[in-house]
Amino acid sequence: MYNINTKSTLITLCLLIMAFTANAFTSGPIRYEKVPTEGLLGLFEEREAIVHSTTQEITGDIAIPYNVSRSLTNWKITAIREYAFQNCKLTGVELSPALRTIGQWAFYDCTRLKSVKTKRGLKFIENNAFNGCRSLETFVFPESLKLIGEHAFRNCESLQSVELYDELTSIREWAFYGCKSLSSVSIKSPIIEISAGCFSFCSSLKEITLPRSVRTIRQSAFEYSGLEVVHMDKFVSKIENLAFASTNLHTIYLHAPVPPEASFIVMNGCPERITLHVPAGSKQAYNAHPYWSQFIIVADL
């Protein structure tokens, strides 16, 4: 015989299942969860829902719809929740312009996923969203994107290029760590720092131009990347430990008239073999700096 506590637990569990069922619906192989809203639900009124999970194994390509009609209501699909497609066998995903958020771990370890097509409207790619998608070759980053979370594209070993636009305000730590095929990075956004480990172990990345908004390059930002040439604007004021460690750097273009704060372990190579281009009139300041004075300084910018 069940005791009172056991019965209470079973009743609570049943109520939770009933509540979820009432707030969820299925269309094809995808289960959606309704987003709670205030007020009565009017006929044909558009409300929001999110991708919750899959009801069966999905292979090949899939398109996340703009909306799904159920019970005389259009449910606009605005997010993919955490773990929704984890370990799936998808090869391609197309997102609608209604989608604003890709949740944490949403496509984690989808090792067959090769391409993701987005539309303007996507704002947030959360932590680990595409971590471990080793076959991902192309990802269209929309101009509306505001945030790329921690480890969001970690170990996306086939990703070849990244182009980021004006509305992006934050690229979190280790976002592109281990993207060993990444050879082209264009950042047009007003980010103020390159976060820790952001492009670490990107062995195909040979050259990069940082946006003029960048003030700080965090620890290990480009460690073990393939960098040979880097362009930094005049507002860079701090470069943290190991930021360029174990790279192939031979040329730095640094437009800052005042030498940035830097320690002796910014890189673990031989700075005396690296040519440092600085603004005309700044050579004396760089020669007087305990770290930057070790470089071959050319004042020609």
85 lies in some domain: no
What digits encode the pLDDT tens for the residues 175-192? 999 999 999 999 999 999
The residue with greater pLDDT, 6 or 235, is: 235
Which residue range is the domain that position 206 belongs to? 194-301
Kindly report the backbone phi and psi dihedral angles of residue 204, in degrees, each rounded to the nearest multiple of 5, phi listed first: -95, -5
Does position 152 have pLDDT exceeding 80, yes or no? yes
Closest C-alpha to 163, from 195, 179, 141: 141
Least confident of 17-21, 153-157, 260-264: 17-21
What digits encode the pLDDT tens for the residues 229-280? 999 999 999 999 999 999 999 999 999 999 999 988 898 777 889 999 999 9
Q: Output the pLDDT for position 285.
A: 96
Q: Output the pLDDT for position 43.
A: 47
- Which residues are CB-contacts of 183 (< 8 A; sequence separation ≥ 6)? 160, 161, 204, 205, 206
Q: Output the pLDDT for position 271.
A: 86
137 lies in some domain: no
Give the helix/strand (H/E) hosting 7.
helix 4-22
Query: Residue 135 half-sphere exposure, CB side, CA atoms within 13 Å?
Result: 15
Q: Could you give the percent of the chain with pLDDT greater than 70? A: 89
Report the number of distinct structural domains present in the chain.
Answer: 1
Give the helix/strand (H/E) hosting 116.
strand 115-117
Residue linked to tokens 């979190």: 172
Helix (H, G, I), strand (E, B) or coil at 255: coil
Beta bridge partners of 87: none
CATH number for the domain spanning 229: value is 3.80.10.10
Q: Output the pLDDT for position 44.
A: 46
Q: Output the pLDDT for position 12.
A: 45
269 lies in some domain: yes
194 in Cβ contact with 162 (< 8 Å): no
Q: Output the pLDDT for position 14.
A: 44
> For strand 216-217 and strand 238-239, is the pairing parallel, antiparallel, or unpaired?
parallel
- Quickly count helices (H) and strands (E) in the chain: 2, 24
Q: Output the pLDDT for position 38.
A: 57
153 in Cβ contact with 130 (< 8 Å): yes
Local confidence band at 5 (pLDDT 50, 70, 90 cut-offs) = low
Q: Output the pLDDT for position 21.
A: 44
168 lies in some domain: no
What digits encode the pLDDT tens for the residues 47-106? 899 999 988 888 999 999 999 988 778 899 999 999 999 999 999 999 999 999 999 999
Q: Output the pLDDT for position 218.
A: 97
Least confident of 126-140, 198-212, 254-268: 254-268
- Which residues are CB-contacts of 27 (< 8 A; sequence separation ≥ 6)? 65, 68, 70
Q: Output the pLDDT for position 276.
A: 97
Counting every residue, how long is the chain? 301
284 lies in some domain: yes
Does position 1 have pLDDT exceeding 60, yes or no? no
Least confident of 13-27, 165-179, 243-257: 13-27
pLDDT (average), residues 205-214:
97
Closest C-alpha to 67, from 97, 42, 92: 97
264 lies in some domain: yes
Least confident of 8-12, 115-119, 137-141, 283-287: 8-12
248 lies in some domain: yes
52 lies in some domain: no
Does position 4 have pLDDT exceeding 60, yes or no? no
* Cα separation values, 88 from 55, 60, 139, 166, Å: 12, 10, 17, 32
- Which residues are CB-contacts of 102 (< 8 A; sequence separation ≥ 6)? 79, 80, 122, 124, 125, 126, 129
The average confidence (pLDDT) of the chain is: 90
pLDDT (average), residues 143-165:
97
